[in-house]
């Protein structure tokens, strides 16, 4: 009977970075409780102990409703830049920007996550995508933000600070916070594996 070969992974993949302090200070470029909450949960999952996760009113310097992948990522980066200006003393700054784009299948929603460490090292990750229903798409094309369009179509109130579009469309199976949280953990991969992802 043959013995199955099990590869030996580099130690960096199996352990959290020894360079991470016991209590981190993380600044989120938004005061939206969903974005602050998903950041707190993701950093706690990744590093085990987080000191302060604080949201600040950082500017995205893009339209209220980003309409392309590039514009949405730029918004996340701009939030980090402004957050760092507002609170220069921190371990990490985080930008989360939701947006929409279109392909032959229709209009889809997603979010970009951008993370900057005090060393200057940065990382980014994108959530999964999902297609929006025609009534919502029509309102966005008229100039309405996704959150406001959702509230109108689904007769909800301030849904973007609750379950979000993904929560409404999955009927609560996936909340906006959970949707962002996984992408946030993915954005932290280079910081969990410092030796495999050198800065530069």
In a domain, 159, yes or no: no
Q: What angle do CA 21, 27, 32 make, to 5 degrees?
A: 140
In a domain, 89, yes or no: yes
Q: Tell me the residue range of the domain where 37 lies.
A: 23-129+175-195
Question: With bands split at pLDDT 50, 70 and 90, how would you rate the model's confidence at 200?
Answer: low
In a domain, 28, yes or no: yes
- Dist CA 172 CA 74 (whole Å): 29
Closest CA to 79 of 71, 91, 68: 71
Whether 20 shows a pLDDT value over 70: the answer reads no
- Dist CA 123 CA 139 (whole Å): 33
Whether 175 shows a pLDDT value over 60: the answer reads yes
Please report, rounded to a whole number, the percentage of residues in the chain having pLDDT higher than 90.
82
Task: Name the domain count of the chain.
Answer: 1
- Dist CA 193 CA 186 (whole Å): 12
The C-alpha R_g of the chain, in whole angstroms, comes to: 18
Residue 132 tokens, joined: 């929006």
CB of 146 closer than 8 Å to CB of 136: yes
- Range 106-132 burial, b when 16+ CB lie within 10 A, else e: ebbbbbbbbbbbeeebbbbbbbeeebb
In a domain, 121, yes or no: yes
- Dist CA 40 CA 54 (whole Å): 9
- Dist CA 155 CA 114 (whole Å): 32
- Dist CA 108 CA 128 (whole Å): 10
Mean pLDDT of 117-125: 97
Question: With bands split at pLDDT 50, 70 and 90, how would you rate the model's confidence at 23?
Answer: confident
- Dist CA 177 CA 150 (whole Å): 16
CATH of the domain at 112: 3.90.950.10
In a domain, 168, yes or no: no
Residue 40 tokens, joined: 């707190």
Mean pLDDT of 88-95: 98
> How do residues 129-162 score in pLDDT, each as one tens digit?
999 999 999 999 999 999 999 999 999 988 888 8
Torsion sign, CA atoms 58, 63, 67, 70: negative
Return the pLDDT at 22.
Answer: 65
- β-pairing, 50-55 vs 24-28, is parallel
Please give the biggest Cα pair distance in the chain: 66
């Amino acid at each position: 009977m043959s013995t199955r070969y099990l590869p030996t992974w580099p130690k960096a993949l199996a352990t959290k970075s020894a360079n991470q302090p016991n209590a981190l200070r993380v600044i989120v470029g938004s005061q939206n409780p969903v974005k602050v909450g998903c950041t707190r949960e993701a950093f706690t999952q990744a590093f085990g102990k987080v000191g302060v996760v604080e949201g600040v009113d950082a500017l995205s310097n893009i339209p209220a409703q980003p309409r392309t992948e590039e514009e949405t990522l730029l918004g996340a980066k701009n939030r980090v830049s402004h957050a760092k200006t507002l609170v220069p003393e921190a371990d990490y700054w985080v930008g989360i920007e939701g947006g929409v784009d279109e392909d032959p299948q229709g209009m889809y929603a997603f979010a970009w996550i951008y993370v900057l460490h005090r060393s200057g090292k940065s990382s980014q990750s994108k959530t999964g995508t999902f297609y929006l229903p025609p009534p919502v798409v029509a309102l966005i094309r008229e100039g309405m933000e996704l959150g406001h369009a959702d509230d109108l179509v689904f007769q909800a109130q301030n849904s973007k600070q609750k379950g979000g579009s993904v929560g409404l469309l999955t009927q609560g199976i996936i909340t906006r916070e959970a949707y962002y949280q996984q992408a946030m953990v993915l954005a932290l991969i280079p910081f969990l594996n410092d030796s495999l992802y050198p800065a530069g």
